[in-house]
Structure 1
């Protein structure tokens, strides 16, 4: 296998050196977004040809028109199955925006207000205790919550739930023992068990990624009087014609489901045992989580993204009002919330309702390119999507390997898409050291 450093140099070289290539112009003439489809293709192909990825696919729409689609490498290397636009992918946390949209349809129906205490609807979250340190014998000390977590806290990851994303912590041992993630739990049982774990921090004081969106799923179920997954299917998947998006993969669909790989320290890929990789999907488990668990295809998830960029509507199916969507995609983190865990690693972003939201141009060359006002999220197996309202652009990028990161795919893809956008491109920004000095 070629060295990974060489792969990175080649990809960066392609990105910097392709500025004079011909570009695709949209129907709006000189003011339209300039997309270099050939450069995007070359960038993605290089990852596969160099061995930095097993397979990758991408789909781009601009102003309602498909402007790029490419699939490279293999979805199943061992069985020589090519990556394609029909490949079914485990999207992990790209489930979260779907859940957020489902919950906000109930907000539009007047079922709740953002500042309502969570316990108004899920009483298990009454009288919560908050971790306050350890005593001299190493036992946890707890204090009362200074205020009740609100639904808004749950929507923007400021409720205080403990999470492995915050590092190892004594509360995680309590959570593991209670095991809300057991697939035999229902989503309401998940919520009831999670509520017995004390909060890690006072509500509203920190941003920490964790189980908040699974609690959103429990809210959907409680407020709609329907099973969470049934509500999502009826209110989102059916009207949007997302026919290949689901928590359980049928036997008919299994032949299209991508293999899952783990990236080893030397950069090579090893297939994860199918029984482990597919465990959540081959059986109709009671637990359908809001924060992960969906599988989808490029075209299906693109229909979701296109609904978003169209202000909540696609092909006559209205899912959300435009003003609700604006609420979801506006930075909702108070300035006082300065502890934001790893969120700043996503660039110049804040956080809305289940989306990271870009609030400023890329600050340095090392950051991924992106347009101010865009919103996005990604998944543990290195999938990515974003919506760029300024350019009416939607992008979906699929690959299947764990753990997250280690390959500069997201940055390279974004840099290639925004190659000719002076404000959005990170390539014309100063290097990080220079940016910090300024």
Structure 2
């Protein structure tokens, strides 16, 4: 079949992108990676390097811990329940999470834990999806506030090792803490998705993995996406690395066979728990770009997708969390939405999110462009890794062409 001019341009840009990413691996920044670009339905993908520094070659179907790229999948699950009529966006969630009834809110950010006032209203599903539920990460480092110490004592402090409590225990621990802000008042990262991980199963009457598999993964053909990598897939599972500053080298953080993602978890973490592949996640991304459908399969309504991919917060609501969103990004439901220009790729309307273990995804509705980069190097700074910047800067050439 003859390649179109647009197809030739995409292929040329992808080949140039491959050269850039090969450089990251050859320098030793990463053992390997998988990248995928989809433009108007035309897909190019490649695997570079190895699953581990001394491991087998990386393949297109290699498995990665996608961590916070899990969040939009969980948000989509919540919207399915809304469409099913099981819950409405502005319903108080305490009907299903009675542990979160009668909340107390810190008097101020630096208050002692007992210095609280009553919550002005109940937490709603919308609050959880937009991360304005009053719970989440306070990005002040080093940690020095009483509420930060309380989070740590409850086992809910931010870090590369995620909570591993059973769902009922996790929500009990959240309930033991005061809210940082009044419901709907301010954006705080992560907490909303962890709480959704308990809410969705309670509403659906099944586990989170069973619900997501039935309503999202199976319909979209996401055969390799789950909350762990089973034994028969360990040979495709990338080793995760973290920078050892003392030794000035990368060290193994999570191995594929004996690591935290190698067996069914106690907590199916809808904030950061999924393992997936580039093609699997592209199926999810294309479903969103297509207004909720994939071929004849409809997962969400166009209206739900619009709600997910529209910014719902104003600048003042993210004042405590500029570290995560900066000045040109807002938040939809479980994902980031660009509201302004920021670099060569990030233009208004593009949506997606990154994963702290070294993964990144964004889709552009106007350009019908999706980029997915999967690496296995844990991020050690709020600043995007060089591989991320190189990837998105080169992809900006495609986006500019529309």
The verdict on a shared fold, with TM-score over 0.5 as the criterion, is yes
- Select 1:170's aligned residue among 115, 133, 146: 146
Is the CA contact 1:34–1:420 (under 8 Å) kept in the aligned structure 2?
no
Q: Is the 8 A contact 2:243 2:380 kept in 1?
A: no
Farther off after superposition, 415-424 or 111-120: 415-424
SS of 1:414's equivalent in the other structure is: helix
Q: Is the 8 A contact 2:359 2:373 kept in 1?
A: yes
Sort the Cα spacing of 1:358 and 1:134 in 2 relative to 1 into closer, same or farther, 3 A: closer
Correspondence for 2:377 among 398, 401, 404: 401
1:187 is aligned to: 167
Q: Output the TM-score relative to the length of structure 1.
A: 0.81
Match of 1:69 in 2: 45
Deviation, structure 1 residue 357: 0.5
User: Contact conserved, 1:91 with 1:379, CA < 8 A, in 2?
Assistant: yes
Matched, 1:318 2:295: no
Matched ranges for 1:220-369 at <5 A: 220-265=200-245, 268-272=249-253, 274=255, 278-334=258-314, 336-342=316-322, 345=325, 348-362=328-342, 367=343, 369=345
SS in 2 for 1:418: helix
CA 1:188–1:332 in 2, change beyond 3 Å: closer, same or farther? same
* 1:340 CA drift (Å): 4.6
Question: What corresponds to 1:154 in structure 2?
Answer: 128
Instruction: Find 1:106's aligned residue among 81, 97, 106.
Output: 81
2:26 is the alignment partner of 1:87? no
Is the 8 Å Cα contact of residues 164 and 210 (structure 1) preserved in structure 2? no
With 140-149 and 102-111 compared, the bigger mean Cα shift is at 140-149
Per-residue deviation, 1:282: 2.5
2:104 is aligned with 1:129: yes
How far 1:133 moved relative to its partner? 4.8
Contact (CA 8 Å) 1:206, 1:338: kept in 2 or not?
yes
1:312 positional shift: 0.9
Number of aligned residue pairs: 390
1:52 and 2:15 correspond: no
Separation (CA, whole Å) in 1 of partners of 2:392 and 2:110: 48
CA–CA separation in structure 1 for the residues paired with 2:309 and 2:323: 16
- Provide, for residues 300-325 of structure 1, a one-character-per-residue CA deviation record: whole Å limited to 9, x for no partner: 11111111111111132210011110
Q: Is the 8 A contact 1:105 1:320 kept in 2?
A: yes
Matched residues in 2 for 1:34 and 1:273: separation? 34
Larger Rg: 1
- Indicate the RMSD between aligned Cα atoms, in angstroms: 2.8
Match of 1:415 in 2: 393
TM-score, length-scaled by structure 2: 0.88
- Please report how far the alpha carbon of residue 370 of structure 1 lies from its aligned counterpart in structure 2 after TM superposition: 2.1
**Contact 1:135-1:141 within 8 A present in 2 as well:** no
Partner of 2:359: 383
Residue ranges of structure 1 left out of the alignment (5+ in a row): 1-22, 425-438
Q: What is the Cα deviation at residue 102 of structure 1?
A: 0.7
Uncovered stretches (5+) of structure 2, i.e. residues with no partner: 157-161
Separation in 2 of the partners of 1:214 and 1:374?
A: 24
Q: CA 1:182–1:165 in 2, change beyond 3 Å: closer, same or farther?
A: same
Counterpart selection for 1:392 from 362, 368, 383: 368
> 1:244 Cα deviation (Å)?
0.8
Give how far 1:101 is off.
0.5
- Mapped to 1, the partners of 2:136 and 2:10 lie a distance apart of 42
Please tell me whether residue 201 in structure 1 is matched to residue 178 in structure 2: no
Greater displacement, 43-52 / 166-175: 166-175
Deviations along 1:228-282, one digit per CA (max 9) or x if unpaired, are 111011111111111111112211111111011112348632223638x953322
Q: 1:391 to 1:187 in 2, by over 3 A?
A: same
**Preserved CA contact (<8 Å) 1:134 1:141:** no
Aligned residues of 2:106 and 2:113 also touching (Cα < 8 A): no
Cα distance 1:260–1:336, how it changes in 2: closer, same or farther (>3 A)?
closer
